């Protein structure tokens, strides 16, 4: 590992991130919230200055062609940690404690959507715009963004791109990784703009439409309204957000092929997407029946809220069209089970990912079949392609570690908080980057009342979950930290 590579890459990222942090100033000026300019100028100055210092100690090198895999993983991991720290600076100016500010920033940039806010009336519009913008930046990936816009990462971007890529497959839509990153962001920006336009036509105020669209496409869940989407009491807007959440949980590479390369069947021909759509339909149907059985008075409202909440949970968006913390135990149990699924590989969604659930289903099916036919050779195929043995081991390892980390976190938090619901549901919501849970940390609740230790554990969960565990696992091995001679 070469320290100069780490410092220079992080320095470049921090400088670029600091410039982006000036964006909310435009909102502050338009809303005549002039005192709100100072927090973002300060945060931008700190980020740019720290970035330049990193580059100075790294020798201002722009040559990352020899970047190793472990260096790429460490850069990606540290990029999420330090950009979240920079993103937390404005929150401190608005009265949040450093820990709460970092929790809110991590929740935003990892697209978790778990908030510590209680009274939304205390904060100006640029505050909420930054929350949504930070989610939008993190939704496609901080590294994917900078690989797309910074020429310094044209070659080395591959190591960092796939260290951050959401899913077990390394899928590209173009031969060059920078072009792939740009293509993904092109689709991302296009869908965000379309959603803003539709929400405005549906009657949502422009500012709220922009913030909610940014959070929707990021599968994030931060809304400027304290009651989330339920607070708008707008059925048309609810359906629009449901549709775009569904897209946010789908593979953006396939959407690029469908929109830009004019391959209209790209999504439907993908086995993971078909499995994803099937899960959503079956889950929303089951949830609707559970709501009707528990006495829900309106059929159409039950259909709408069931589909919305299932899509919101499976894509890890975390929006709420109703206070599902008040639902029956059966309905909440159905929702909780979908916290363990996640979006598609290559999507903005977090969680385990549909492709791994599909693999797990086929793996168990094969094992059952081989009990009856022990001599049979039964390869596992997805999209008619045999899943390579190395990929199988990686997926099984991921699933085992995911369960182990979730169990350990849930037990520790339960012991700290004295509440099983917070321990289990809170862990599932944070490690899966979902956001709200049930009860105190439900859709109309807040994580602000949790203990310091629990907040720290949930911060780690959010970052590790967003990184898909792999870089974190790699860093547990001593060989990961072997530095090259003349490391600077």
pLDDT confidence bin for 75, thresholds 50/70/90 = confident
Query: Which of 57-61, 105-109, 277-281 shows the lowest mean pLDDT across its residues?
Result: 57-61
Phi, psi of 267 (to 5 degrees): -75, -50
Among residues 331, 340, 335, the alpha carbon closest in space to that of 431 is found at 340
Among residues 119, 222, 208, the alpha carbon closest in space to that of 434 is found at 222
Q: What is the tens place of the pLDDT at every residue in 211-264?
A: 999 999 999 889 999 999 999 999 999 999 999 999 999 988 888 888 887 888
pLDDT confidence bin for 157, thresholds 50/70/90 = very low
pLDDT at residue 167, as a whole number: 55
pLDDT at residue 69, as a whole number: 74
Q: What is the tens place of the pLDDT at every residue in 16-34?
A: 999 999 999 999 999 888 8
The answer on pLDDT for 165 being more than 70 is no
pLDDT at residue 300, as a whole number: 87
Q: Would you report the helix, strand and coil content of the chain in percent, each value rounded to 5?
A: 65, 0, 30
Q: What is the tens place of the pLDDT at every residue in 98-116?
A: 999 999 999 999 999 899 9
The answer on pLDDT for 161 being more than 90 is no
Q: What is the pTM of this model?
A: 0.90
Please give the DSSP secondary-structure letter assigned to residue 63.
-
The answer on pLDDT for 164 being more than 70 is no
pLDDT at residue 155, as a whole number: 45
DSSP states of 253-278: HHHHHHHTS--TTTTTT-HHHHHHHH
Q: Which residues contact 403 (CB under 8 A, 6 or more apart)?
A: none
* Mean pLDDT value across residues 415-433: 92
Q: 84-88, 355-359, 399-403 — which one is most confidently predicted on average?
A: 84-88
pLDDT at residue 156, as a whole number: 47
Q: Which residues contact 466 (CB under 8 A, 6 or more apart)?
A: 80, 110, 111, 112, 138, 350, 433
Q: What is the tens place of the pLDDT at every residue in 360-404?
A: 999 999 999 999 888 888 889 888 888 888 888 888 888 899 999
* Residue 189: both structure tokens together: 């920006």
Q: Higher pLDDT residue, 182 or 488?
A: 182
DSSP states of 100-164: HHHHHHHHHHTT------S-GGGS-HHHHHHHHHHHHHHHH-HHHHHHHH-GGGTTTHHHHHHHH
Question: Domain residue spans in the chain?
Answer: 264-338
The answer on pLDDT for 485 being more than 70 is no
Q: 93-107, 153-167, 295-309 — which one is most confidently predicted on average?
A: 93-107
* Mean pLDDT value across residues 442-450: 88
Query: Which of 81-95, 277-291, 396-410, 466-480 shows the lowest mean pLDDT across its residues?
Result: 466-480
């Amino acid at each position: 590992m070469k320290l100069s590579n780490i410092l220079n890459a992080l320095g470049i990222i921090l400088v670029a991130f600091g410039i982006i942090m000036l964006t909310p100033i435009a909102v502050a000026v338009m809303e005549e919230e002039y005192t709100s300019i100072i927090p973002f100028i300060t945060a931008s100055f700190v980020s740019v200055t720290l970035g330049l210092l990193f580059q100075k100690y790294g020798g201002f090198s722009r040559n990352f062609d020899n970047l190793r895999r472990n260096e790429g993983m460490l850069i990606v991991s540290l990029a999420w940690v330090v950009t979240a720290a920079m993103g937390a600076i404005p929150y401190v100016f608005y009265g949040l404690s450093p820990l709460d500010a970092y929790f809110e920033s991590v929740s935003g940039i990892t697209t978790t959507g778990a908030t510590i806010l209680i009274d939304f009336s205390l904060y100006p519009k640029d505050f909420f715009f930054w929350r949504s913008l930070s989610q939008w930046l993190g939704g496609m990936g901080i590294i994917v963004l900078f690989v797309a816009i910074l020429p310094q990462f044209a070659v080395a971007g591959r190591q960092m791109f796939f260290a951050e890529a959401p899913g077990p497959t390394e899928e590209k839509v173009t031969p060059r990784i920078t072009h792939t990153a740009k293509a993904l962001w092109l689709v991302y920006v296009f869908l965000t703009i379309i959603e803003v336009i539709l929400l405005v036509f549906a009657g949502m105020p422009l500012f709220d439409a922009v913030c909610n669209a940014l959070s929707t496409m990021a599968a994030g869940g931060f809304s400027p309204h304290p009651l989330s989407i339920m607070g708008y009491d707008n059925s048309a807007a609810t359906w629009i957000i449901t549709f775009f959440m569904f897209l946010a949980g789908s593979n953006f590479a396939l959407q690029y092929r469908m929109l830009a390369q004019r391959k209209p069947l790209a999504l439907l021909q993908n086995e993971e997407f078909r499995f994803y759509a099937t899960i959503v339909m079956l889950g929303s149907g089951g949830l609707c029946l559970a709501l009707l059985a528990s006495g829900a008075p309106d059929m159409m409202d039950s259909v709408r809220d069931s589909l919305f909440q299932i899509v919101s949970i499976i894509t890890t968006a975390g929006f709420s069209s109703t206070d599902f913390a008040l639902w029956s135990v059966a309905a909440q149990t159905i929702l909780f089970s979908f916290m363990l699924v996640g979006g598609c590989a290559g999507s903005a969604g977090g969680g385990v990912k549909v492709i791994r659930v599909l693999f797990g289903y086929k793996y168990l099916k094969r094992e059952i079949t081989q009990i009856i036919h022990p001599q049979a050779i039964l390869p596992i195929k997805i999209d008619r392609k045999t899943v390579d043995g190395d990929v199988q081991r990686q997926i099984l390892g991921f699933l085992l570690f995911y369960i182990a980390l979730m169990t350990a976190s849930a037990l520790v938090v339960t012991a700290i908080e004295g509440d099983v619901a917070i321990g289990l549901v809170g862990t599932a919501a944070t490690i899966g980057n979902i956001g709200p849970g049930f009860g105190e940390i439900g859709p109309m609740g807040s994580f602000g009342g949790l203990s310091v230790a629990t907040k720290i554990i949930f911060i780690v969960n959010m970052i590790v979950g967003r990184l898909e565990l792999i870089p974190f696992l790699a860093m547990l091995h001593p060989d990961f930290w072997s530095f090259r001679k003349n490391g600077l």
